Amino acid sequence: MAAFKSTERYIASRDLEVAVNAAVTLQRPLLVKGEPGTGKTVLAHEIAEALGMPLIEWHVKSTTKAQQGLYEYDAVSRLRDGQLGDERVRDIGNYIVRGKLWDAFDADKQVLVLIDEIDKADIEFPNDLLLELDRMQFFVYETRKTVAAKFRPIVIITSNNEKELPDAFLRRCFFHYIRFPDRATMELIVQTHYPDIRKDLAREALNVFFQVREVPGLKKKPATSELLDWLKLLMVEDLPIEALRANEKHVVIPPLHGALLKNEQDVHLFERLAFLARRGG
């Protein structure tokens, strides 16, 4: 059996590997939580890559209904066609629109389904998918047919913790919480993404980055994806190291901070701290 391991582009901790392999082996959904920007969505892409499976992505929004993942019956266009006397109207199957899960169940080989940000949807959303994800089949009322998965897809679900998920749903999943990487892991991640980055630049940038994360009261702490964006900017701009090292003792606004701080209140906070630092000498 193909097992999931860290790749050249994605550093997975051992506990994540175990969780993914358990989900793949037992063919149960894997629920991934973690701070925004720690690579939850990217994980699904990497697993699909590693196991050589096609990836079907279902991005959930606040208006998404569970039914939309299965199928939708387009009654309105059927009514219109009925008025216009279209022949297609006799077969109700013409008005059944397939959803992402149907596509996944119908695939001729095992696929990987990503249900992204499940917590965005209504509270009832996970409950409505219980049976479908458990048995990997559902019933189409309009055509009186059951759609069952030819190959049980691997399901990866991500959540940003905006809402509690129901117990019955959780019981059917494996769970993994992506911790924020420590410094050593972070260096590894930077290495894999930018192998040709200057060593000193990476070191100084990580110093600044972890310093920024330490600042109390930040609304949104920068995470891995912000760090990678920022490093890219730094590399493109080719800033001298001194710009980052400006003042080691005090908090300074890092150059090109737009990539790290995504909230104007956070930028204000930094300006205030930098001002105090200057005044304090």
Q: Which parts of this chain interact with another protein (CB under 8 A)? A: 14-15, 18-19, 21-23, 25-26, 28, 30-31, 33, 63, 76, 79-80, 83, 123, 163-165, 167, 170-177, 179-180, 182, 184, 216-217
Nearest approach, Cβ of residue 223 and another protein (Å): 13
Nearest approach, Cβ of residue 235 and another protein (Å): 28
Contact 247, 253 (CB under 8 A): no
Nearest approach, Cβ of residue 56 and another protein (Å): 23
Closest to another protein by CB, 152 vs 201, is: 152
Closest to another protein by CB, 32 vs 231, is: 32
Nearest approach, Cβ of residue 276 and another protein (Å): 16
Nearest approach, Cβ of residue 141 and another protein (Å): 17
Contact 121, 61 (CB under 8 A): yes
Closest to another protein by CB, 80 vs 145, is: 80
d(CA 92, CA 144): 11
Residues ≥6 apart with Cβ < 8 Å to 4: 12, 17, 20, 21, 24, 46, 47, 50, 51
Closest to another protein by CB, 147 vs 186, is: 186
Closest to another protein by CB, 80 vs 109, is: 80
Closest to another protein by CB, 163 vs 193, is: 163
Distances (CA, A) of 237 to 2, 196, 199: 41, 15, 16
Nearest approach, Cβ of residue 159 and another protein (Å): 10
